[in-house]
A and B are shown apart, each in its own frame.
Chain A
Amino acid sequence: MKISFPRMGYSYIAFKWLVENLGHECIVPPEPSNHTLDLGVRYAPEFACIPFKILLGTYIEVAQMGAQAVITSGGMGPCRAGYYWVMHKYLLEEMGLPMQIIAMEMPLLNLGDFWGKINRLRRSGGVSLKELARILKITWEKVKAIDDIEIRSHQVRPLEVKRGDTTRAINEGLAFIDAAQREHEIAEARQEALARLDRVPQDQSRNPLKIGIIGEIYVVLEPAANHYIQLLLGEMGVETDRSIYLSAYARKNTIVNLEGDLFAIARPYLNEAPIGGHGVNSIAETILYARHGFDGVVQLAPFSCIPEIVAKSIIPAVSRDFDIPVQTIFIDEQTGRAGVQTRLEAFVDLLQWRRSRRETVVEKRVLQG
């Protein structure tokens, strides 16, 4: 069977490997482009959020490339994303595109359904159970390695001497991961990729601003949906940390990980959790970034995203209490790159000014004291 999946950042490298090793042909989803979005906007309901439209556009594109099925995620609400697959199915049927949608509901809710779907994919691909375990393990290793490399790149980019060096290095590094077939090869590829990033000529005298990126998972993870915001900020000389990584649950070294803590942190501001999507998370993550000494936070969300609107209405209070500036950017099909860039530049200017003011205050104190 020819199988495809939604594209989210660099994770496609790992999922491509998964599908191919399950014995199916993988149609790698193209990076979302204006064409993808146009297709999605044409057929999607007007007020659907932008991830819905981009995914629909992607499904149409991969259908034209020959995909017979897409694997996607389900959900239990109250975020709309859990109902995406049903609406996508309706819409694709209306368009007359024969496409099977394999939606993975949360295993905790319906383990039988989850296992059944994986098992069907396994059997139709002719893979043994033992083999399946190995494949899943390696996919997971790849996801983790990709995230490690990406995290490092966002630290290196603001220091790079020649613009574009980091981007070239990360692309080379990801190619190593893509080529790796076994666990130890992935470990080696990861080392080599990280080393390449470290070898990028850097100006260590810079003290980059630090910005945390929070918000809705899809627009945070997919650079094409958020106008390459981490790249833009990196090239402006800003170090970014983002709250969501696919492998976040397994790591302890990132600033944001386990959800239970997040709900407790957000409780003084929002006495209910979860409210769907990453609404509560956004509130808690703003607090965490403030505590970790970040200079500012950028909230990314699709236009009309319900949980993030709730978060947005509460974040001003958090921003005031913790003295951390927050820039909210709602993204829809009308959002232009220049608009995003202008707002970011203004925001970075503001942060720079705040920092220099704080430093002058400190200097004065030192001189007087």
Chain B
Amino acid sequence: MYRVGIPRSLAYFFYLPLWKTFITELGHEVIESPPTSRAILDRGVKEAVNDACIPIKLYHGHAAYLAERCDLLFCPRLVSVRKHGDFGSETFCPKFLGLPDMVRLALNPLPPLIDVRIDLKQPRTGLWDAACEVGQKLGHGQAEIKRALRLAQAAQQSFRNLCQRGVLVPDALEAVLNGKKVSPKATPGHDLTIAVVGYPYVIYDPYINAGLFKILQEEGVNIVTQDMLTDQILNWQARELPKTLFWYFSNRAVYGGLHFMKKGRVDGMIHVTAFACGPDSMVDRLLEIEVRRRSSMPYLAIAVDEHTGEAGVRTRVEAFLDMLRYQRKGK
């Protein structure tokens, strides 16, 4: 039995049910790094290349935490998860493409990596090939892998279903993996609905965005995100743009944003972006221009970095909400 570490950053919020179930069902122990803390961030800043963006530094911090506590580190190379985009070449940010190599050269000591290349442009065989590679690394035969993959896909599917019924991703993860009860109903007494769009590893990591969701919920706001929309609704938005973006998570954020600004029944939109994020330099301005052209919806962009404090985010969010409520009163 191996102890397999899964860092709590980047695509964690996107594939955890699948890979955690898969590895657990094969009879191994999955160790997740704890939620981001100052110590993890500092470690990441120390280990990663200095020009990297915050999420990549965070990932290094989480991986460094796990390096001393596991036998194998799950660090897949995400190349693509679907055939999409103008040239059918949708992929991930180059930093995802080089991630295992970056981690390998940055961290010492480091347990062996499970650096499986995930390229699902061939939807039939892509996932099966990836699962086989992981399963074989852990020392299992095809029959076991097949069974574990089936259960894993079921877990991933129920996670997606929960999200699409309106449960926030962190709650849905708890529900699917730990059996916590959740209800997708809006909290009574909350009078505003705000769309929060951005990358999963920025909006669902409460440390790096200084507890944005908590602040919003305390202020009486219902939160919707792009992950609550079905793929069909999201992909429908591709035709609204002159050219699709190249990056999976960016496309999701932009499509979600476009949907909400057109007919989302939301009062405002917040885009959370990470300092020095390459794709976001395009995404943020694109959303800003589109939201102004298509609607009268107020839009707030929050850029977070390693120095972001709770007070700063809270002040900006409160001002934004005051404006929304004031505007509503005026109507």
Question: Are A and B physically bound partners?
Answer: yes
Do the beta carbons of A310 and B95 come within 8 Å of each other?
yes
Nearest residue (CB) in B for A83 is B282
In angstroms, Cα B94 to Cα A188, docked, is 45
Distance to closest chain B CB from A293 (angstroms): 25
In angstroms, Cα B88 to Cα A110, docked, is 12
With A76-B89, A83-B243, A313-B105 in contact, is A304–B276 under 8 Å at CB? yes
Question: Is B277 part of the contact surface with A, judged by Cβ < 8 Å?
Answer: yes
In angstroms, Cα B250 to Cα A83, docked, is 12
The interface residues of chain A lying within 8 Å CB-to-CB of B105 are 313-314, 316-317
With A87-B282, A87-B286, A272-B77 in contact, is A314–B98 under 8 Å at CB? yes
Question: Is A224 part of the contact surface with B, judged by Cβ < 8 Å?
Answer: no
In angstroms, Cα B100 to Cα A279, docked, is 15
Distance to closest chain A CB from B215 (angstroms): 24
Distance to closest chain B CB from A345 (angstroms): 22
Interface residues of B in 232-265 (CB under 8 A from A): 241-243, 245-247
Do the beta carbons of B246 and A77 come within 8 Å of each other?
yes
Do the beta carbons of B286 and A270 come within 8 Å of each other?
no
Question: Is B87 part of the contact surface with A, judged by Cβ < 8 Å?
Answer: yes
Do the beta carbons of B285 and A272 come within 8 Å of each other?
no
Do the beta carbons of A76 and B98 come within 8 Å of each other?
no
Distance to closest chain A CB from B120 (angstroms): 15
Do the beta carbons of B278 and A306 come within 8 Å of each other?
yes
Distance to closest chain B CB from A220 (angstroms): 17
**Contact for B93 among A109, A269, A306, A316, CB less than 8 A:** A306
The interface residues of chain A lying within 8 Å CB-to-CB of B278 are 47, 49, 80, 304-306
Do the beta carbons of A313 and B48 come within 8 Å of each other?
yes
Question: Is A90 part of the contact surface with B, judged by Cβ < 8 Å?
Answer: yes
Do the beta carbons of A271 and B93 come within 8 Å of each other?
no
Distance to closest chain A CB from B52 (angstroms): 6
With A272-B117, A317-B105 in contact, is A78–B281 under 8 Å at CB? no
Question: Is B267 part of the contact surface with A, judged by Cβ < 8 Å?
Answer: no
The interface residues of chain A lying within 8 Å CB-to-CB of B279 are 80, 306
In angstroms, Cα B286 to Cα A90, docked, is 8
**Contact for B97 among A82, A89, A272, A330, CB less than 8 A:** A272
The interface residues of chain A lying within 8 Å CB-to-CB of B284 are 45
In angstroms, Cα B95 to Cα A272, docked, is 11
Do the beta carbons of B285 and A45 come within 8 Å of each other?
yes
Do the beta carbons of A270 and B92 come within 8 Å of each other?
no
Do the beta carbons of B100 and A275 come within 8 Å of each other?
no
The interface residues of chain B lying within 8 Å CB-to-CB of A104 are none
| Binary per-residue interface labels of chain A (61-87) against chain B in the complex, 1 for a CB within 8 Å, 0 otherwise | 000000000000010111110110011
Do the beta carbons of B98 and A275 come within 8 Å of each other?
yes
Distance to closest chain A CB from B278 (angstroms): 4
With A83-B282, A90-B285, A309-B51 in contact, is A279–B94 under 8 Å at CB? yes
In angstroms, Cα B275 to Cα A109, docked, is 33
Interface residues of B in 59-81 (CB under 8 A from A): 77, 79
In angstroms, Cα B243 to Cα A307, docked, is 21
Do the beta carbons of A306 and B95 come within 8 Å of each other?
yes
Question: Is B106 part of the contact surface with A, judged by Cβ < 8 Å?
Answer: yes
In angstroms, Cα B293 to Cα A91, docked, is 13
Question: Is B114 part of the contact surface with A, judged by Cβ < 8 Å?
Answer: no
**Contact for A109 among B48, B87, B245, B289, CB less than 8 A:** B87
Interface residues of B in 68-126 (CB under 8 A from A): 77, 79, 86-87, 89, 91-95, 97-98, 100-102, 105-106, 115, 117
In angstroms, Cα B134 to Cα A176, docked, is 62
Do the beta carbons of B98 and A303 come within 8 Å of each other?
no
Question: Is B280 part of the contact surface with A, judged by Cβ < 8 Å?
Answer: yes
In angstroms, Cα B280 to Cα A76, docked, is 17
Do the beta carbons of A276 and B282 come within 8 Å of each other?
no
In angstroms, Cα B252 to Cα A54, docked, is 29
**Contact for A78 among B93, B285, B286, CB less than 8 A:** B93
Question: Is B154 part of the contact surface with A, judged by Cβ < 8 Å?
Answer: no
The interface residues of chain B lying within 8 Å CB-to-CB of A77 are 89, 91, 245-247
Distance to closest chain A CB from B94 (angstroms): 4
| Binary per-residue interface labels of chain A (38-61) against chain B in the complex, 1 for a CB within 8 Å, 0 otherwise | 000000011111001000000000
Nearest residue (CB) in B for A316 is B105
Do the beta carbons of A83 and B245 come within 8 Å of each other?
yes
The interface residues of chain B lying within 8 Å CB-to-CB of A89 are 242
> Contact residues of A with B, CB < 8 Å?
45-49, 52, 74, 76-80, 82-83, 86-87, 89-91, 94, 109-110, 269-272, 275-277, 279, 303-307, 309-310, 312-314, 316-317, 330
A sample of 18 cross-chain residue pairs with beta-carbon separation below 8 angstroms, ordered by A number, consists of: A45-B284, A45-B285, A46-B281, A47-B278, A48-B281, A76-B89, A78-B246, A80-B281, A83-B245, A86-B241, A271-B77, A272-B77, A272-B101, A304-B278, A309-B51, A312-B49, A314-B102, A316-B105
